[in-house]
Amino acid sequence: MHCPNCGNQSELDQKFCRTCGFNLEPVGKLIQTSSDEHNEAKLDRAEREKRIIRRMVSWMMWGLLVLLIGVVLSVVNKQFQLGHVFGLIATLVILGGVSLTTYGVLDALRCGGFEALSPKAKAASDEGETESAPTTRELEGRFPIPIGSVTERTTQLIGADSEQRS
């Protein structure tokens, strides 16, 4: 972390800047809090994606089971020629299995389970982009930290330099 007043490199647990004496405790707490919230958000997102994937796989397994039953019924109808009604039932069971499997995939897409696989996310990870900066709503309730002007500090240094020359 850098001191917001003078720009000197400082540690997160440092209370005051060693160069200008600026109070770094609120800055360190703010940085620590935002990184903790960021880590929690990543864990929540990962847990949510796991739940969505689990649900999708469950729907797909049930769909494939129903599809398999429909195929078995169709093969039995072909072997024993049980009639058109039995063949129609087998066809409807197959369609039901395909529908369940498709629903599982589409539901996962609707819930956003494949955000990490989207082309936009892949492009962002290839370019090394990180998540966007927090929005104004996410920053509500945090206290602003006054940051001194760069020119103010320069003016002070120039004034001190000219006094030493006199």
Give every CB contact of residue 165 below 8 A, 6+ residues apart in sequence.
none
Note the pLDDT of residue 13: 76
99-to-11, 17, 81, 94, 108 alpha-carbon distances in Å: 58, 64, 26, 9, 14
How far is 145 from 119, CA to CA, in rounded Å?
A: 38
Residue ranges of alpha helices (H) inside the chain are: 25-80, 84-111, 119-127, 136-139, 150-165
Q: What is the pLDDT of residue 132?
A: 58
Are 63 and 102 in contact by the 8 Å Cβ rule? The answer is yes
Residues 6+ apart with CB under 8 A from 62: 100, 104
Q: How far apart are CA 116 and CA 125, in angstroms?
A: 9
Q: Name beta bridge partners: 16.
A: 23
Report residue 16 CA to chain centroid gap.
34
Is residue 60 within 8 A of residue 105, CB to CB? The reply is: yes
In order along its 166 residues, the chain shows pLDDT tens digits of: 778 788 788 777 777 888 888 888 887 777 776 666 677 777 788 888 889 999 999 999 999 999 999 999 999 999 998 899 999 999 999 999 999 999 999 999 988 755 545 555 545 544 544 555 656 666 566 666 666 666 766 767 777 766 777 6
